[in-house]
Copies of this chain bind each other. A is one copy, B any other.
Amino acid sequence: MSVLEQLGLRAKEASPVLRGASTGQKNAALGEIARALREQCGAVLEANGEDIANARQNGMSAALIDRLTLTRERVFAMAEGVEQIAALPDPIGEVMEGFTRPNGLEIIKKRVPMGVIGIIYEARPNVTVDAAALCLKSGNVCLLRGGKEAIHSNMALAGIMSRAVEKTGLPGDCVLLLEDISRETAAQMMRMNGVLDVLIPRGGAGLIRSVVQNATVPVIETGTGNCHVYVDSSADLEMAEKIIVNAKAQRPSVCNAAETLLVHREVAERFLPAAGEALKKAGVTLYGCPETCRILPGTAAATEEDYATEYLDYKLAVRVVESLDEAIAHIRRYSTGHSEAIVTRDYESSRRFTAQVDSAAVYVNASTRFTDGGEFGFGAEIGISTQKLHARGPMGLREMTTYQYIIKGSGQIR
């Protein structure tokens, strides 16, 4: 039996026990995880030191090493994150609806855990703790597969969590880590039909593409955001400037950052000089359509590729459009379905934009940066879904569940 088959069996054993755990039991396990992370912080930092030494030896970039690095502060922040998840309402057991059929059958639709959730991610060890805690709270066994760069950190963290869970009486196998981090086991994990109820990739576009292309288990595609801000002819231009600067430059590396600015021709001459200046001040380089380049001489020309790119950087494509319709058509063509915003003072423009733009989050007069589990009030998130099946936008605890129908009868037959 392969390592992965063994893990699969253990997951399937633990799943019904965790499914039946009370909110109190799950919260106790989360509390114990937080306590153990703080108490065994030294062991975590030691393991992390090994990963960092290896990374340096392999010539990893400073930015990636920073993502990989744990400090006492960062480990304590993870523990606090776990406690915050414990404090969230338990989604399991909610009766979502219920009705009685003419034949007397009483049907309720009840929220239940998915079962076993696989998470494939990259070199950030905090995902190990975050994902495990979210899965545990939502009653799901997690099977984690992190990047090989973080394997020692992940083994230390998963071991601490598993032992902590076991200490409170739930199966230690509620938190499972795939320690064999070869490409082959990753590929096998994507085909664990009958074990994984869903697989969630968390990471860059390459990882997500690979999972979508190779998985035979159900996948939730997350986190690709080619987001747009459209400045309508009626926009409050001061507001529009603040929104585009925020949407682009407040944190360019995240999926809800804006990548293209669309400006209605009627306001382009008035809006672009000041907005371009403000963006430049924020460190942003523009890639403009011919009209943008005419208004802002010296701007680099945007290519088709620019419109299609999620820069995740201090770069912004800018295009002047003739109409709201042209803006919507541009978004329809290039968007990844994540988040789009219109800045407008016109009722009908706001109505048409929100009705016709088919992205997970559509904003009027606000920054795209709000597409986030915390900002939506979900308390935490496992990712931002950019597919239409199951969940769209920020996925909190509730989006990590499914439902079942419970039907009570008195002998009904057909």
Once the chains bind, are B242 and A413 in contact (CB under 8 Å)? yes
A379-414 with Cβ < 8 A to chain B: 387-390, 392-393, 402-414
Report Cα–Cα, A19/B388, bound state, in Å.
14
| A126 adjacent to chain B (CB < 8 Å) | no
Judge whether B413 and A366 touch: CB under 8 Å.
yes
Q: Does A5 contact B (CB under 8 A)?
A: no
**A16 CB–B CB distance under 8 Å:** yes
Would you call A220 and B389 a contact (CB within 8 A)? yes
**Residue A367 is within 8 A (CB to CB) of chain B in the complex:** yes
Q: Give the contacting residue for A407; candidates B20, B239, B363, B404; CB below 8 A.
A: B363
Complexed CA–CA distance, A20 and B366 (Å): 24
Tell yes or no: A58 within 8 A of B by CB. Answer: no
Contact A414 B367 (CB under 8 A): yes
Q: Is the CB of A411 within 8 A of B239?
A: yes
Interface string of A261-289 (1 = CB under 8 A from B): 00000000000000000000000000000
Chain A's interface: helix, strand, loop or mixed, by majority? mixed
B414 touches A16 (CB 8 A): no
Q: Which residues of A contact B (CB under 8 A)?
A: 16, 19-20, 99, 101, 105, 107, 112, 114-115, 193, 197-198, 212-213, 216, 218-220, 236, 239, 242-243, 246-247, 250, 332, 350, 354-356, 358-367, 369-371, 375-377, 387-390, 392-393, 402-414
Question: 18 new A-B pairs (CB below 8 Å) besides A101-B375, A362-B405, A389-B402?
Answer: A114-B388, A197-B387, A197-B389, A218-B389, A250-B413, A350-B408, A354-B406, A362-B407, A364-B409, A366-B408, A366-B409, A367-B412, A367-B414, A369-B413, A375-B414, A376-B405, A389-B389, A393-B404
Pick 29 A–B contacts, CB within 8 A, sort by A: A101-B375, A105-B370, A114-B388, A197-B388, A218-B218, A236-B411, A242-B411, A350-B408, A360-B405, A361-B404, A361-B405, A361-B407, A362-B405, A362-B406, A363-B409, A364-B407, A364-B408, A365-B408, A366-B407, A366-B409, A367-B412, A367-B414, A369-B413, A370-B407, A370-B414, A371-B405, A389-B390, A390-B390, A392-B403
